[in-house]
Chain A
Amino acid sequence: MTPAAPVTVRICHLYPRLLSVAGDRGNLFALTQRCAWRGIGYRVTEADAGDAPDFAQTDLILMHGGQDREMRVAARDLAAKGGPLADAIEAGTVVLAVCAGYQLLGRYYAPVDGPPIEGLGVLDAVAEGGRARFIGHALVECDPGPGGQRHLTGFENHSGRTYLGSGARPLGRMLAGAGNNGEDGTEGARYREVYATYLHGPLLPKNPWLTDHLLTRALAHRYQDFGPLAPLADQAETQAHAASLRLARRPAGRWRVATAAVSRFGRPPAPLAGRAHRHERSLAGKGTAWTSH
């Protein structure tokens, strides 16, 4: 994708068509742009179902969210290329896995309707579908490495509940939002260089420190003597991170969407206001096929 540069990160975007909902590709833009701005080369391989990417020649793998139907197709395909992927993960290849991608790296995901979907099992985690859906701005406190404790801000939208086993540790602790299961206050999972999360959409653009951490680890995976990344002017990123943090910290931020709609209901002009209201009602509905991620 980019002319050969002395230093190049090899990125594999896994299932870019099957697993890509609501802005997930923002993560890819963040990785490639922050390379480009520093004069670091990058190569992006898009691997969909049926493709056989060389994971041994990959430094960073991206796997995003998807609807149940697409997730099943990806799971079938993953059964075929799972061995080399698991080997690469054991060898320290960096992985960012989001929503369905997160669940596919765990042992299984059991949706509310339909048979369970088997995962790769590299993460000691299981996921189950739930009737209610966790939707809202989220704030996570995490400690991904030498950078120290940092805030991760984003948006979660999932009905799956993940429970970690002893072989995986959480990515962080929830300061606002539901996280893995809405019960134990954890969010995401860490194993070797795997970073798994339920925060979907453009997570990396708003959290440039995580982007740079992933790039640093990916470069360290390929080049033994790679030094620290050059700093960038992150004014827009800082502003967006702060704005997202404010949204997550709003009083009762999580349910503001639904309650605002209910209080507005019937009051003009509210052309679309009933949607969130209806959505809240549908949480209690039976047999609704929500997405897995």
Chain B
Amino acid sequence: MRVVAGRRPAQDRDGSAAARAGARFTLALAAGKEAGTASRMLGTGGGTCFPGTVARRIDPRVLQKAAAASGARKVIVSGSNGKTTTCRMLAALAQASGLLVTQNRSGSNLLHGVTSAAVQGTGLRGRMAAQLLLLEVDEATVRLVAPEVRPEALLVTNLFRDQLDRFGELYSVAGKLAAAISALPASATVVLNGDDPLVASLAPEAAARRLYYGIRAGGSGGQVPEHAADTVRCVRCQHPLSYRAVHLSHLGDYQCPGCGHGRPPLDVAVTAIRPSPGAGAEITVDTRAGTFPLRLPAAGMHEVYNAAAALAGAMTLSPGRPLQPATARDALAGLRPAFGRLEQIQAGSRRVVLAFVKNPASYNATLREVLRQPGRKHVLAAHSNTSVDGEDFAWLWDVDLERLVPRLASLTASGTRAEEVALRFKYGGADPALMRVQPGRADALDAALAATPPGERLHIFAGYTPMRELRGIMQRRGWAPSWEEQ
């Protein structure tokens, strides 16, 4: 027998390396898809980031390859608050202008969740059916995701102080976002909330085109930021900022009396806000593509910012047929609220209103909305220390619960941190006779509903995990549709 020693020709070897790389990519896609199907069938929660984990283990560059191979436009939405709703609105606007959209699941906004979405939206031949890959990305993860995805547009909603034990400080998160923006090419667009002093001044030297959105309507707020406000000093000279109008926390029309640095000129500006009959709001938005009179299904200043962000994001899409004001109006008016965003559930003869609260800014915005309706409030407040929700609930003391307390009819404190929740309400001035501590979620729901007279509303304010648990209980009781069905 003859042993043939020798090497294959170099060209052949390269070809096979490329083939192997291609095969690895295909295998990663296939395994990721299988993992998604399996985890859905096992009912482990919809398979939100498992497929991405599996696919990345096989091919660490799977996201990069899928993004590069797809002909889709890539848009990343990031920031502290409003990412999910902004993405829902932007997707609706994109679909209304004829684009097919692939998105990641709300909350699955880290590297593996984003990879899952890309894997599941990509065929085994590496092509993506969608024309828009819309990604909600955690603000500290953007710097990892953006270099792989190479987005045509990056949108930043706002920067609020989050739970410190998970996030480090505001400025270090801002620094990471600025690095991601600086790395964008000149052909990309960065869409920024002009009303947020820290966001508006992210990476001023970056090559990417800048598009600012904000609110130009007057009289919607005071002139002093509320307690939870984060960035109230000038980012350039540290002098306290003065505001012509404060719309939400530290968001507004600001100027620095020290160095003159102020809000940039707005490209997409909300010029009028009116409550609409029933629920929701009517807003007017001026853009370079014309004036958009929009109807928002939910009211509140944060919703106005989300809509302005989505419309500004839509301006970067340049679809085959331009977005018409009437189409945009229909697209937004027809949206249902996202998970836990003031969703209403009929629980027998009582109505439950869910509010997912994760930091002082989102909590205060929700409180303002709830207190707009007259009457005393029955409340179930639940927080848990989990790896998802964080360990430290100190931020609860920065929420302006003092606004709610005078109108409190009953309070049930729940979650693994039920005692801390009850203590916060006590020091907010709540009468201990109106409060009960019930750490178990099902028991708490029963107690809170029992305290709510028939025909009245029970307001649930909860962190991510207890909200999922409470909603799951209501789902099993047949009161609420499954979250995945929505």
Q: Tell me the A residues contacting B by CB distance below 8 Å.
A: 17, 21-26, 29-30, 33, 67-70, 73, 133, 135-137, 155, 157, 200-202, 205-206, 233, 235-237, 239-240, 242-244, 247, 256-257, 260-261, 264-276, 278-279, 282, 288-291
Contacts and interface: CB of A to CB of B under 8 A. Distances in A.
Contact of B111 (A233, A274, A289): A274
Contact of A137 (B44, B391, B435): B391
B49 A23 contact: no
Nearest to B413: A236
Residue among B46, B238, B419, B426 with the highest chain A CB neighbour number at 10 A = B419
A111 B50 CA distance: 40
B118 to A, nearest CB: 16
Contacts of B166: 275-276, 279
Contacts of B390: 257
Given A155-B394, A157-B165, A290-B172, A33 B429 contact: yes
B464 interface: yes
B169 interface: yes
Contacts of A271: 48-49, 105-110, 113, 388, 464
B129 interface: no
Contacts of B396: 23
A274 B392 CA distance: 17
8 contacts: A202-B397, A206-B420, A239-B419, A271-B49, A271-B105, A275-B166, A279-B168, A290-B168
B394 A236 contact: no
A136 B419 contact: no
A99 B47 CA distance: 41
Given A205-B423, A266-B53, A268-B47, A274 B165 contact: no
Contacts of B424: 26, 202, 205
B344 interface: no
Contacts of A206: 420, 423
A202 to B, nearest CB: 5
Nearest to A239: B419
Contacts of B227: 25
Contact of A275 (B105, B138, B233, B429): B138
B391 A26 contact: no
B45 A268 contact: yes
Contact of B49 (A136, A202, A270, A276): A270
Contacts of A240: 419-420, 422-423
Interface of B: 39, 44-50, 52-53, 105-113, 138, 140-141, 161, 163-172, 175, 227, 232-233, 238, 240, 385-388, 390-398, 417, 419-420, 422-424, 426-429, 432, 435, 437, 464, 468
Contacts of A270: 48-49, 387-388
A22 B111 contact: no
Contacts of A291: 164, 168-169
Given A73-B238, A206-B423, A23 B387 contact: no
A272 B390 CA distance: 10
B446 to A, nearest CB: 20
B49 A33 contact: no
Contact of A201 (B44, B50, B161, B394): B394
Given A23-B394, A247-B385, A270-B49, 7 more contacts: A22-B161, A201-B392, A201-B394, A205-B424, A236-B419, A239-B423, A268-B50
Given A69-B238, A205-B427, A136 B391 contact: yes
Contact of A67 (B105, B163, B170, B175): B170
A276 B167 CA distance: 8
5 nearest A-B pairs in the assembled complex, by CB-CB distance:
A201-B394, A271-B107, A23-B394, A266-B53, A23-B397
Given A30-B427, A155-B394, A268-B44, A278 B140 contact: yes
Residue among B47, B110, B111 with the highest chain A CB neighbour number at 10 A = B110
Nearest to B36: A268
B159 to A, nearest CB: 13
A267 B50 contact: yes
B175 A289 contact: yes
Nearest to A242: B419
Contact of B169 (A202, A233, A256, A289): A289
Given A235-B432, A240-B423, A269 B140 contact: no
B28 to A, nearest CB: 14
Contacts of A279: 165-168
Contacts of A68: 169
Nearest to B426: A236
Contacts of B106: 271
Contacts of B398: 22-23, 25
Nearest to A21: B164
A237 to B, nearest CB: 7
Contacts of A264: 387
B164 A22 contact: yes
Contacts of B39: 268
A135 B385 CA distance: 14
B422 A26 contact: no
Residue among A70, A240, A273, A288 with the highest chain B CB neighbour number at 10 A = A240
A69 B398 CA distance: 20
Given A200-B394, A240-B422, A268-B50, A17 B232 contact: yes
Contact of A272 (B44, B240, B388): B388
A155 B394 CA distance: 9
Contacts of A274: 110-112, 138, 141
B356 to A, nearest CB: 12
Contacts of B435: 236
A290 B165 CA distance: 11
A268 B49 contact: yes
A275 B397 contact: no
A274 B108 CA distance: 10
A112 to B, nearest CB: 12
A242 B420 CA distance: 10
Nearest to A247: B385
B461 to A, nearest CB: 16
Contact of B437 (A157, A239, A268): A239
Nearest to B235: A69
A137 B392 CA distance: 8
A268 B165 CA distance: 22
Given A266-B53, A269-B45, A271-B388, A239 B422 contact: yes
A22 B424 CA distance: 13
Residue among B44, B165, B395, B428 with the highest chain A CB neighbour number at 10 A = B165
A272 B111 contact: no
A117 B166 CA distance: 26
